[in-house]
């Protein structure tokens, strides 16, 4: 099976290379340490006799942010050294910013071609490998199995789409999953799906999502909150009612246009509604600006680092790493990638922990269990489509009591679900002894 994968990988790579080349050019930053993608990682000395080296792979910014508590829990054991890799340029920049002083080395995950993977393994020399969420790289797993290196998949998730795809190739799914020594699923649903696809039931546990353990920025004090609102152009005079702030959290194509229409409907009722757009991919700024130029309300683009006018109706926060802080000024959040034509959903966990009432489209398939649990707890509501979303926004704008109840429900829900990182770290450390 691995030889078939190797034979097919390289011609497939050549076919998709133009697309990835375009993405690299569009996003920028991919040239930085590009040799890592070819396996030319910085050559590391072998682990000291009293040390165990963990190769931890986290795909992009979201995973990089999520693994902080796990790294901290693992590093509590002074025999552990961590080599952290990531796939995206933004994830790489965030990893270096956050963990440069806390891990042994940071790099970019190699392409899963056998020559590149072999070279990376020779240079990193791990005692354990850890992958996050839904990463199943056959060459990487093959090298771990051949070398007797324990493998962990943490925060494992199987979306509806991935589940259906794997069901079409059950033998392949089972072979891949059984190369993993331990799987820590993000929910009971993910655990059940993984076992159904062929994962070892004895070593597949539901530990909860590590994203609950991410330290949420301390709730902004009133003075700081006011200053941030003014920085965004959402300030108000002392004698005036503060504006109602709706945030589009990690939005995808089509969702910004829907939120602009909903904002206009709220304003038509006499409410001073401001819209904070935080797209999932900052490089979509130009596309969103085209939308903003076609509507009458005032707006500002945060990434330009120009002074914000005293008052704007829309702030486009096409920046990276600010979502948690910016969310704190909102009165209501819409979680992106959940309205058609988008499917999958972005994580609502952080907004819930901050205490922001949440609205989601019907397509939260990447966070199915989380979304269902949030709705059940009273912290969030589903919108079936744009019209339903507009109706929910219009109702909640007028109902501060309902928003307060949703806010408290989100905080309570978040607090009840913490602790996954510590449980996972304990299991990993036990497996090393």
pLDDT digits (tens, 9 = 90+) for 4-14: 888 888 788 78
Could you read off the pLDDT of 283-303 as tens digits, one per residue? 899 999 999 999 999 999 999
Look up residue 46 and give its two tokens: 């072998």
Could you give the C-alpha distances from 366 to 139, 348, 372, 430, in angstroms and in order? 25, 11, 12, 30
- At 263, is the secondary structure helix, strand, or coil? helix
Ordered domains of the chain (ranges, CATH): 35-209+418-432 (3.40.50.11720), 222-416 (3.40.50.2000)
| pLDDT, position 282 | 87
pLDDT at position 308 is 81
Closest CA to 58 of 117, 129, 146: 129
Range of weakest confidence among 225-229, 272-276, 290-294: 225-229
Query: Residues 256-263: what's their mean pLDDT?
Result: 98
Give yes or no for residue 26 having a pLDDT over 70.
Answer: no
Quote the DSSP letter at residue 359.
Answer: E
Phi, psi of 250, rounded to the nearest 5 degrees: 55, 55
Sheet holding 151-156, edge to edge: 105-108, 80-86, 52-57, 128-132, 151-156, 182-185, 204-206
171 in the Ramachandran plot: left (φ > 0), alpha (ψ -120 to 50) or beta? alpha
Q: Which of 199, 216, 195, 228 is nearest to 329 (CA)?
A: 228
Q: What is the mean pLDDT of the chain?
A: 92
Convert the pLDDT of each residue in 357-378 to its tens digit: 999 999 999 999 999 999 999 9
Give the phi and the psi of residue 199 in degrees, each rounded to 5: -65, 150
Q: What is the pLDDT of residue 237?
A: 77
Lowest mean pLDDT among 19-28, 141-150, 276-285, 334-343: 19-28
The C-alpha atoms of residue 364 and residue 271 are separated, in whole angstroms, by 29
The pLDDT value recorded for residue 1 is: 73
Confidence check: pLDDT of 205 > 90: yes
Residues contacting 424, CB < 8 A, separation 6+: 70, 73, 152, 154, 184, 207, 210
Rg for the chain, CA atoms, rounded: 23
pLDDT at 28: 62
Is residue 391 exposed (0-12), middle (13-18) or buried (19+ Cβ within 10 Å)? middle
State the pLDDT at residue 24: 63
CB atoms under 10 Å from CB of 81, counted, come to 19
Region 181-201 average pLDDT? 96
- pLDDT at residue 74, as a whole number: 95
More confident residue, 111 or 309: 111
Return the pLDDT at 239: 73
Average pLDDT, integer, range 69-80: 93
How far apart CA 144 and CA 135 sit, in angstroms, is 14
Mean pLDDT of 163-184: 94
CA-to-CA distance for 199 and 183, rounded, in angstroms? 8
Q: Tens of pLDDT along 316-327?
A: 999 888 898 999
- DSSP run (H or E) holding 255: helix 255-268
Average pLDDT over residues 48-61: 93
Return the sign of the alpha-carbon dihedral for residues 365, 366, 369, 373: negative
Tokens read off for 340? 């058609």
Mean pLDDT of 33-52: 90
pTM of the model: 0.86
């Amino acid at each position: 099976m691995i030889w078939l994968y190797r034979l097919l990988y390289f011609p497939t790579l050549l076919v998709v290379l133009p697309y990835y080349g375009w993405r690299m050019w569009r996003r920028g930053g991919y040239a930085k340490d590009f040799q890592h993608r070819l396996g030319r990682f910085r050559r590391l000395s072998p682990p000291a006799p009293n040390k165990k080296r963990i190769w931890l792979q986290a795909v992009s910014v979201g995973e990089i942010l999520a693994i902080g508590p796990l790294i901290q829990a693992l590093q509590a054991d002074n025999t552990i050294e961590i080599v952290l890799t990531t796939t995206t340029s933004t994830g790489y920049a965030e990893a270096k910013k956050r963990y440069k002083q806390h891990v042994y080395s940071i790099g970019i995950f190699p392409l899963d071609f056998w020559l590149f993977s072999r070279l990376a393994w020779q240079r990193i020399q791990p005692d354990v490998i850890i992958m996050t969420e839904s990463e199943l790289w056959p060459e990487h797993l093959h090298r771990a199995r051949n070398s007797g290196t324990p493998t962990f998949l943490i925060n494992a998730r199987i979306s509806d789409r991935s589940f259906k795809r794997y069901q079409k190739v059950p033998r392949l799914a089972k072979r891949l999953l059984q190369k993993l020594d331990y799987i820590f699923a993000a929910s009971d649903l993910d655990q059940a799906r993984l076992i159904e696809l062929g994962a070892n039931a004895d070593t597949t546990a539901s530990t909860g999502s590590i994203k609950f353990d991410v330290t949420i920025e301390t709730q902004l004090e009133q003075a700081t909150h006011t200053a941030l609102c003014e920085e965004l152009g959402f300030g108000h005079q002392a004698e005036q009612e503060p504006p109602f702030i709706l945030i589009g959290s990690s939005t995808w194509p089509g969702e910004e246009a829907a939120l602009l229409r909903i904002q206009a409907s709220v304003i038509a009722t006499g409410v001073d509604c401001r819209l904070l757009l935080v797209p999932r991919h900052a490089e979509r700024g130009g596309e969103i600006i085209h939308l903003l130029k076609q509507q009458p309300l005032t707006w500002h683009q945060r990434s330009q680092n120009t002074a914000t006018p005293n008052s704007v109706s829309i702030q486009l926060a096409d920046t990276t790493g600010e979502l948690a802080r910016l969310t704190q000024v909102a009165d209501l959040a819409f979680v992106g990638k959940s309205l058609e034509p988008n499917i999958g959903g972005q994580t609502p966990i952080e907004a819930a922990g901050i205490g922001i009432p949440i609205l989601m489209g019907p397509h939260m398939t990447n966070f199915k269990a989380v979304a269902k649990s949030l709705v059940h707890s009273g912290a969030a509501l589903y919108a079936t489509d744009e019209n339903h979303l507009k109706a929910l926004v219009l109702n909640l704008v007028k109902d501060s009591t309902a928003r307060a109840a949703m806010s408290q429900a989100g905080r309570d829900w978040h607090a009840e679900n913490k602790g996954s990182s510590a449980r996972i770290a304990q299991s990993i450390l036990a497996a090393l002894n």
